[in-house]
């Protein structure tokens, strides 16, 4: 059985393997999602994922590349399809809710003690742990 340990989330990225930019999310997680914003259209980017566990053990991915879409590309008119909604990591005062979409999308959760909800949050979903 594989033992998963919570780790930090960091993405180094830029126009070359020197990267130059970092995007990090504080805290330790088993599943990691980092959104890179304000990228230049039709540009090749290099990135590398770095995660470190609470004891300082660091893992680093290989260099990976992607190219952003051209400016003025056809507008997406379809709403994202949501699937695989799950409640995980249930505790006394917190719950981790996860889901998948069929395309990159931001998200929010409306929640409450009845279907009137009353509370909401937006990504990234963090709560302070005392």
Among 106, 108, 104, smallest CA distance to 122 is for: 108
Shared domain check, 88 and 63? no
Q: Which of 21-35, 47-61, 95-109 has the highest mean pLDDT?
A: 47-61
Average pLDDT for 8-14: 85
d(CA 109, CA 121): 5
The domain of 97 spans 82-122
Q: Which of 15-29, 55-69, 98-112 has the highest mean pLDDT?
A: 55-69
Shared domain check, 87 and 63? no
Q: Is the pLDDT of residue 121 over 60?
A: yes
What is the tens place of the pLDDT at every residue in 62-76? 999 999 888 876 677
Shared domain check, 90 and 58? no
Residue bearing tokens 């959104």? 35
Among 61, 12, 19, 68, smallest CA distance to 44 is for: 68
Shared domain check, 86 and 63? no
Give the tokens for residue 97.
């809710």
Decide if 61 is inside a domain: yes
pLDDT band with cut points at 50, 70 and 90 for residue 100: confident
Q: Is the pLDDT of residue 129 over 50?
A: no
pLDDT for the residue 2: 52
Decide if 31 is inside a domain: yes
Decide if 127 is inside a domain: no
Number of domains in the chain: 2
Confidence (pTM): 0.54
Decide if 55 is inside a domain: yes
Give the tokens for residue 33.
């999602």
Instruction: Name residue 96's beta-bridge partners.
Output: 88
Decide if 18 is inside a domain: yes
Decide if 2 is inside a domain: no
pLDDT for the residue 115: 81
Shared domain check, 48 and 17? yes
Q: Is the pLDDT of residue 122 over 70?
A: no
């Amino acid at each position: 059985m594989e033992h998963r340990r919570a780790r930090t989330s960091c993405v180094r990225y830029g126009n070359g393997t020197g990267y130059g930019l970092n995007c990090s999310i504080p805290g330790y997680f088993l599943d990691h999602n980092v959104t890179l914003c304000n990228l230049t259209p039709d540009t090749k980017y290099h990135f590398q994922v770095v995660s470190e566990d609470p004891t300082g053990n660091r893992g680093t991915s290989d260099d990976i590349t992607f190219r952003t879409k051209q400016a003025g590309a056809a507008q997406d008119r379809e709403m994202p399809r949501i699937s695989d909604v799950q409640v995980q990591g249930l505790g006394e005062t917190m719950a981790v809710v996860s889901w998948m979409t069929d395309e990159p999308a931001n998200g929010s959760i409306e929640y409450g003690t009845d279907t009137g909800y009353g509370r909401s949050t937006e990504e990234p979903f963090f709560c302070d742990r005392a």
